[in-house]
Structure 1
Amino acid sequence: LFDRLSRWPANLNGKPPLMSFLGLNVTAECNLDPRCVYCNQPRPEVAVGMDRWREIIHEATADGDGKGPYVYVTGGEPLLLGAALWGDEGLIRLATRRGATVNVNTNASLITPEVALRLVKAGLGKLHVSLDTADEGLHEALRGGEQLHRVLRGIYNVQLARDLLGVTYPVVHTNCVLTRKNLRGFPRLIAFLLEKRKQAAGKDDPFKEDLLPHVIPVGGDGNTWLRPDAGQFREFYESLWQEVCQGR
């Protein structure tokens, strides 16, 4: 594999490489107020309008030849864009029509039944939902007062919309920002997700299963008070992770 990868420049035969990933930070705005305790999202004035986002997608999708990149949409909260994101003429539909796979990062609290149906109709491939803990009180403390049941309701709405339309997309994954506040609750979070996950019909690949967790250590210069220290990271890998693997 490494040998083949090392030869990829020569295999291009002088052609420019195809873009494989396109990250779009479409808004700095968020519907959570106050924001998550670890949020370090800069809040600049809007520099890119919707017309320019559409131009960028056109430029990145190789003239719609079915070889579009993986388009990763994040914010802020991208769903604040509404139909400009998930509508028939929105960014998701534009990208999927031109051959790209699209992922949206979201807190899921804005996913009503209508929005869920629209996301499916637009051809969204993946949805990454922020979920740091199964403890409702801690969730609210970390996530700016956001209620856990609103997140779960958004996930359920997507699962129901898929079933109604007879499709297996978008696959719903979760993002867990690991802090010293929620680190010891990680085994409980995994048990919670395992109870609620749903395997896409006819798919054996674990990456096609709902609620696969992505663990992201908290970053940012302003979050040193939340960042686990060396001993806590050691506890996570040597004890808590083993607890997860053993299913306790």
Structure 2
Amino acid sequence: MKISVKDFNVNFLNNQILRNINIEIPKNTVTALIGPSGCGKSTFLKSINRMNDFSKEFHKEGTIYIDGEDIYADDVDVVDLRKNVGMVFQKANPFPKSIFENVAYGLKIHGLKDKVKIFDTVKKSLKQAALWDEVKDILNSSALSLSGGQQQRLCIARTIAVNPDIILMDEPCSALDPISTLKIEELIDNLKKDYTIVLVTHNMQQAKRASDFTSFFLDGEVIESGKTQNLFSNPKMEKTRDYILGRFG
């Protein structure tokens, strides 16, 4: 398994957010995390690249393994971990720089100075993000001049430019129109050939369309996990069925 989560618990002060999470995420697949607001999906997502470490109130128990390695072990380089586990947020957050510099930023931060290699990597990343044809003639324009959907694909290009193994996506389409959402979903399907993707979404149809596996979170627990088609067509748990049918959440 690419990601294995064993008996994982998260507390912020005395508030328990995640309870005994056990999930297996295979390599080169898309796993959707579904569930109502406040059920722990985003906290779990941020635990995979240790973004929760920024909070002094964060406390965890249990283990998350990536490729068999405990990511919370004392000898883990957290900077390297976050390079290997990229994050795409709910709202597109391009830097106030040019389109080119947005994608090149991570490369330069990590010490790459060869201008040819930087350009080639930027071009490749924009192509992978299905954005190159739209921006190849305006690379020096401000990233903030792009549409919302283009900005989100730019952020995906920026993420994959540093060559991660895993991409975490926290509701990447929630602020986008239906056409832009479809482009992002098509992009996710293409990207899983090269990356393992974990996708938080409130959109049941998006989870069905875009993911191979789905985990249903409720009140900090995983109620049910399985192949997406099976979970939506024949859920084993009554709570899962009720949520999918819109009876709560």
- Work out whether the TM-score is over 0.5: no
More helix by share: 1
* TM-score (ref. length: structure 1): 0.31
Q: TM-score, normalised by structure 2?
A: 0.31
Question: Relative to total residues, which structure has the larger strand share, 1 or 2?
Answer: 2
Q: Which has the larger radius of gyration?
A: 1
Higher relative contact order (CA 8 A, sep 6+): 2
